[in-house]
Amino acid sequence: MMSLPTSHCSYPSLSICPTEPTSLLILFFPLPKMKCGNCGEISEKWQYIRLTDNVALKGGRGSASMVQKCKLCSRENSIEILSSTIKPYNAEDNEKFKTIVEFECRGLEPVDFQPQAGFAAEGLESGTVFSDINLQEKDWTDYDEKAQESVGIYEVTHQFVKS
Ligand SMILES: [Zn+2]
C-alpha cells in the first residue's frame, strides 16, 4: 500500500543554481491535484506541503507533512516530504531532469505540480543569493550586480516518477 512517487523537476537555467539544501528548508510544494488511491477522487483544491509541517497520524502511526481526508470515500490519506532527499538543482544539471525531492505517499498520489514561490538560487561564480524566486510564470529573470550579467531560469518543467 506504499508507493514513492518522486518529483523530477527540470529547471533549465543559465548561470543560476539553487542554494544548498539548508536554505531550501522553507521550500514548499504546491501540488494542486492529489488523487485518492482508494477511490480515485482527484482533489481540485490547491495543496501546500511544507517541510515544517508535521501532523500526527491517528492511532500512533507516526506523522506526516500533510494528512487529508478524502471527500468521497472518507479515507484518511497522508503524504510525507522526505527531507533527506532534497537536492539542489545545479548548473551542470541544466536541461536534464533531476530528482530534487521524494515523497512518501500513503494512500494518495500527487498528479500535478505547480511551481510558485519558495525557490532560491545562487550565482554560480558570484555567489549572489536570490532568495525569493517565484516560478509561477515558468520563467524568472534578474540581474546579478556582482557578476554584471542577467540571470534567469527558463521553461520550468517537471515530471513525477513512481518507484
Ligand atoms: Zn477516496
Using alpha carbons, select from 77, 81, 82, 80 the residue that is nearest to residue 67.
77
Tell how far the Cα of 56 is from the centroid of ligand 1, in angstroms: 20
How far is the centre of ligand 1, averaged over its atoms, from the C-alpha of 44 (Å)?
A: 13
Q: What is the pLDDT of residue 25?
A: 33
- Residue 44 per-residue DSSP state: -
Average pLDDT value for residue range 121-142: 81
- Phi then psi for residue 128, to 5 deg, are -60, 130
What distance in Å separates the CA atoms of residue 102 and residue 4, rounded to the nearest whole number? 7
Q: What is the pLDDT of residues 38-87, one digit of tens each?
A: 999 988 776 777 777 788 887 777 888 888 888 899 998 888 888 788 77
- Residue 138: the pLDDT is 77
pTM (predicted TM-score): 0.72
Mean pLDDT value across residues 96-124: 79
What is the C-alpha separation between 79 and 68, in angstroms, rounded?
9
Convert 11-49 to b/e letters by CB count within 10 Å (16 or more is b).
bbbebbbbbebeebeebbbbbbbbbbbeeebebeeebeb
Grid cell of 163 as nine digits:
518507484
The burial class, CB within 10 Å (0-12 / 13-18 / 19+), for 108 is: buried
**How remote is the CA of residue 37 from the centroid of ligand 1, in Å?**
7
Å from CA of 38 to ligand 1 middle? 5
Name residues with Cβ closer than 5 Å to ligand 1, which is an ion: 36, 38-39, 41, 70, 72-73
- Give me the residue spans of the domains in the chain: 25-153
